[in-house]
Amino acid sequence: MKDLQAEIQEQYQALGISEPVRRLGEEVLAELAPRFARIDEIAEYNQLKVLGAMRKNRVSESHLTGTTGYGYNDDGRDTLERVYADTFHTEDALVRAQITCGTHALNLALSSNLRPGDELLSPVGKPYDTLEEVIGIRPSAGSLAEYGVTYRQVDLLPGGGFDYPAIAAALNPKTRLVTIQRSKGYASRPTLSVEQIGELIAFVKERRPDVICMVDNCYGEFVQTREPSDVGADMIVGSLIKNPGGGLAPAGGYICGRSDCIEQAARRLTSPGLGREVGASLGMNPSFYQGFFLAPTVTAGAEKGAIFAASLYERLGFSVHPAAATPRYDIIQAINLNSPEWLKAFCKGIQMAAPVDSFVTPEPWAMPGYDDEVIMAAGAFVQGSSIELSADGPLRPPYTVFFQGGITWYHAKYGILMSLQKLVDAGLEL
Ligand SMILES: *Cc1c(COP(=O)(O)O)cnc(C)c1O
C-alpha cells in the first residue's frame, strides 16, 4: 500500500500545486501546531456554548419548519433568536432572513436607535467603507446625516491604542450612540480584542452611562471565548454570511443586545406596531440553526487559514497584517502584494481553488458602496459569502489583499497554496 502522505502529495500535484510550493507550505505548517491546538480549544469551548443554548431552549424538530406570508407565530424563528441571545449572553436578539447583509444590520441598529439631533461617535477611527454612506460621511440619499444625526470620529493612536483624552472630549450631551468596529475590515489598523473593547466601553460608560455602545462584530464571532456583549456592549451586530452562519445560512443578519435596543430595531425592520411579530422565516430555519451549530468549528478553520497565509507570505518577505506571530481577533488576513498584477494573481489562485466557479477569472469592478475598484475572488455556495474561502482587495497601493474564510481548513489550505502557485507562475521566486 502506498503511503498516504505520498498520495496526498499526488493529489496536490494533480490539482495544480507544484512540489516546491507544497513543501514550503508543509514546512510553515509544522511550526503552527501549537497555535492550531489553541484554536481547537477555543472552538471546543464555543461549541459547548452554542449547544448549551440549543439545549436550554429545547430546540426541536418542529423549529426546523418555517412560515410564509406574515410569519406570525414562527416558533422556529423566535427560538433561534433565544438561542443567539443565550449564546451571546444578551437580553434579546433579532436574527432574520429579512436583514439582507451586515451593512443592513448595522444601518438597522443605528437608524432605529438614533433620533434627529442625536450624535453618533466612532472612537476607533473611520468605520467600514459601506458605513460611510449609511452615516453620511460621504453624502448619500437616506443617510443618517439627512435625518439630522451628526457624526464625530476619534482616530486610533498611531500604535493602534485608544485616544482616551480625545474620546472624553468628543463625548457631549448630544452623543447618543458609540459605534465600535471590532475587525479592521479594509483598514490597516489592528483588530480589537474583546478585552480592549471592554476597556473602551467601560471608559465611555463611566462618563456617559446612558450612551448606547454598539459593536460591529463582523468577522469576530467565535474567534475568542467571549464576545463584546460579555464586556458591556449594548448591541452586537453582524452578518450571517460571515462567521455565525457557519457557511450554511444563505442570507441574513443579526443584532443581539439590550431588549429596548432590539425592540427599536425590530420596529424599524418591519414597522411600528408590528415589530418582531412578522417576518416569515421562508424555509431558512434549518440552515440558520445548523449553520450556527457549525459556526465555532467553521470559524476555527478560517482562522487557521488566516494564520497559515500570514506565516507563508511573511516568510516570503511580504508585509502581512496582522503579523504571523501576533494574537488574532478576527478571521481576516491582509497581505500587501505591492502590485496590481500580484493582487490579481493571488485572487486568481483563490478562485481556481473554489468548489464553485473554479474556471472563471476574477476582474476588478466598481462595487456599490465602495470607493475604489475592488477585485474579488469567491467561488462560493452562497453569493458573496466571506466565511467561505474568499479574497478581495481595493485596487489602490499597496495592493493589499484581504483574505478570509474557508468552510473547511483543508480548503483554506489548498486555496492559499494555489494563490502562492499563481504568484510563482507570475514570476515570484521561492
Ligand atoms: C463585512 C463587514 C461589514 C458589512 O457587511 P456586508 O455584509 O458586506 O454588508 C461591516 N463591517 C465589517 C467590519 C465587515 O467586515
- What percentage of the chain has pLDDT greater than the value 70? 100
Ligand 1 centroid to residue 130 C-alpha, Å: 7
| Cα dist from 93 to 175, 208, 359, whole Å | 24, 24, 40
Give the Å distance between the CA of 217 and the centre of ligand 1: 9
Give the distance (Å) from ligand 1 centre to CA of residue 144.
18
Q: Is 390 in the pocket of ligand 1 (CB under 6 A)?
A: no
Peptide bond between residue 398 and the one before it cis (omega within 30 degrees of 0): yes
pLDDT digits (tens, 9 = 90+) for 315-351: 999 999 999 999 999 999 999 999 999 999 999 999 9
CB of 216 closer than 6 A to ligand 1?
A: yes
Contacts of 175 (CB under 8 A, 6+ apart): 118, 119, 120, 121, 152, 208, 211
Q: What is the pLDDT of residue 2?
A: 74
Cα 383 to averaged position of ligand 1 atoms, centre (Å): 14
Q: Is the distance from the beta carbon of residue 101 to the nearest atom of ligand 1 less than 6 Å? A: yes
Three-class HEC string of 227-279:
CHHHHCCCEEEEECCCHHHCCCCCCCEEEEECHHHHHHHHHHHCCCCCHHHCC
Our mutation pick for probing the ligand 1 site, out of 106, 217, 239, 243, counting the most ligand atoms within 8 A of Cβ, is 239
Question: What pLDDT does residue 361 have?
Answer: 95
Q: Is 308 in the pocket of ligand 1 (CB under 6 A)?
A: no
Instruction: Quote the mean pLDDT of the chain.
Output: 96
Pairwise CA distance, residues 354 & 414, whole Å:
9
pLDDT at residue 6 greater than cutoff 70: yes
What does DSSP assign to residue 365?
Answer: B
Q: Please write the tens of the pLDDT for every residue from 374-421.
A: 999 989 999 999 999 999 998 999 999 999 999 999 999 999 999 999
- Residues 350-376: b if buried by 16+ CB within 10 A, e if exposed: bbbbbeeeeeeebebeebebbeeebbb
- The residue whose grid cell reads 476555527 is 300
> Average pLDDT in the 50-71 region?
97
Instruction: State the closest ligand 1 atom to the C-alpha of 130, by its place in the atom list counted from 1.
Output: 4
The C-alpha cell of 276 is what? 418582531
Q: Is the pTM higher than 0.85?
A: yes
Q: Each residue of 7-60: pLDDT tens digit?
A: 999 999 999 999 999 999 999 999 999 999 999 999 999 999 999 999 999 999
* pLDDT value for 407: 95
Q: How many residues does the chain have?
A: 430
Whether the predicted pLDDT of 369 surpasses 70: no
Atom of ligand 1 nearest to the CA of 239: 7
Residue 152's H or E segment, with its range, is strand 150-153
Ligand 1: centre distance to CA 102 (Å): 5
Nearest-angstrom CA–CA distance, 418 and 10: 15
Which atom of ligand 1 lies at the shortest distance from residue 181's CA?
13
| Centroid of ligand 1 to alpha carbon of 384 (angstroms) | 11
Give yes or no for residue 103 CB within 6 A of ligand 1: yes
Rounded to whole angstroms, the Cα distance separating 215 from 180 reads: 5
Cβ of 404 below 6 Å from ligand 1:
no
How many Å lie between the centroid of ligand 1 and the Cα of residue 357? 23
Half-sphere exposure in the Cβ direction for 57 (13 Å, CA):
24
In the DSSP assignment, the letter for residue 145 is G
> What one-character DSSP code corresponds to residue 111?
H
Provide the grid cell at 118: 442625536
Residues in CB range of 68: below 8 A, 6 or more apart: 280, 282
State which H helix or E strand residue 162 sits in.
Answer: none
Provide the grid cell at 4.
Answer: 498516504
For residues 79 and 105, give the distance between their C-alpha atoms in angstroms, rounded to a whole number.
20
DSSP 391: E
Determine the atom of ligand 1 nearest the C-alpha atom of 241: 7
CB-ligand 1 contact for 218 (6 Å cutoff): yes
C-alpha cell read off for 190? 489592528
Q: What is the model's pLDDT at position 37?
A: 98
End-to-end Cα distance, the chain = 33
Separation of 430 CA from ligand 1 center, angstroms?
A: 34
pLDDT at 251 (0 to 100) = 97
